[in-house]
Structure 1
Amino acid sequence: MVNYLLMICADLENLTNLEPHDGCDDLNFSYLFKVKCGCCGELSQKETCVSLGDTVPNSSGKGTTNLIQKCKFCGRDGTVTMIKGRGKPLTQEASQSGKYCPVMLFDCRGFEPVDFIFGDGWKVESIAGTKYEGIDLSNGDFAEYDEKGVCPVMISNLRSKFDVVK
């Protein structure tokens, strides 16, 4: 069992508290990334989609997991189980200092997550308090004008990594 913590960083201009959001909870937020097989090392060609709201019975018969996927090369099964409670929003202070912030913890068995893909469903707020929800970061950036704060707001230079944690 290896746990991988998804860490993100971005340049936030007049914004703070960037985090996943889909509606009133994060059960429907989709995390997209490629997976590498722990057995043969094959990298998936397509992105794997995992969300807290999707669960399947574990192959061992004990509990549930968020994803069971078969490696197309060697045929081995791997699982990805999401563990809530480790994520924090990316603040303006962390952004300015280039620090990565944790988003979600994944318990991976048989797979290693790689190449996180930013997509739709993010939220952020301006330093003036204006809330932006349902932001699509799949193009790599976001830009608006905050009427309340009378300033431009922008998300750019998106970066991510997976850290191994115990």
Structure 2
Amino acid sequence: MVNYMLLICADLENLTNLEPEGGCDNTNFSYFFKVKCGRCGEVSQKETCVTLNEVVPLSQGKGTTNLVQKCKFCGREGTVTMISGRGKPLTQEDSESGKYCPMMLFDCRGYEPVDYIFGGGWKVESIAGTKYEAVDLSGGDFAEYDEKGECPVMISNLRSKFDVVK
């Protein structure tokens, strides 16, 4: 069992508090990433989708998990279980310092998460207090004009990584 923390970073212009709509522990937010088999090293061709509200029984033993998937190359089964309560929004201060912020913790058995894919369902707030919801980051950036603050707002240079957590 290895725990992987999804960490994100981005350049925020006149924005703060980038996070999934409903917060980092939103049960309906979908996390998309590829998985690497712990046995043969094959990386999945398609992205795997994991959400907190989707729970499946373990194929062996008791308990549940958020994902059970077989490697298409070697047939080994692996699981991914999400552990909530560890994420926090990416603030403007974090962005300016280049600091990565934790979003979600994944308990992976037989797989290693790689290549997180940004999608829709994000929210962010301007420094003037304007809230932007249903932000789609699948294109790699977001740009608007904040009427209230009379300034442009932008999310760019999206980056992510998975770090092993003890």
For each residue in 1:80-103, what CA deviation from the matched residue of structure 2 results, as whole angstroms up to 9, or x when unmatched?
000001101000000000000000
Q: Which runs of 5+ in 1 are unaligned?
A: none
Q: Which runs of 5+ in 2 are unaligned?
A: none
Correspondence list, 1:150-161, <5 A: 150-161=150-161
User: Corresponding residue for 1:32?
Assistant: 32
- Distance in 2 separating the partners of 1:65 and 1:21: 23
State the identity %: 83
- Distance in 1 separating the partners of 2:21 and 2:77: 30
User: Corresponding residue for 1:99?
Assistant: 99
3-state SS of 2:95 partner? helix
3-state SS of 1:94 partner? helix
- Distance in 2 separating the partners of 1:104 and 1:62: 24
Asked whether 1:4 is paired with 2:41, we answer no
User: Corresponding residue for 1:14?
Assistant: 14
- Distance in 1 separating the partners of 2:49 and 2:115: 12
- Which moves more between the two structures, 92-101 or 57-66? 57-66
Task: Tell me if the contact between 1:22 and 1:134 (Cα under 8 Å) persists in the aligned partners.
Answer: no
| C-alpha RMSD of matched pairs (Å) | 1.2
User: Corresponding residue for 2:133?
Assistant: 133
3-state SS of 1:95 partner? helix
- Distance in 2 separating the partners of 1:84 and 1:163: 16
Output the TM-score relative to the length of structure 2.
Answer: 0.97
For each residue in 1:136-160, what CA deviation from the matched residue of structure 2 results, as whole angstroms up to 9, or x when unmatched?
0000000001111111100000000
Output the TM-score relative to the length of structure 1.
Answer: 0.97
Asked whether 1:120 is paired with 2:126, we answer no
Task: Tell me if the contact between 1:22 and 1:121 (Cα under 8 Å) persists in the aligned partners.
Answer: no
CA-CA distance at 1:22 after TM superposition: 5.5
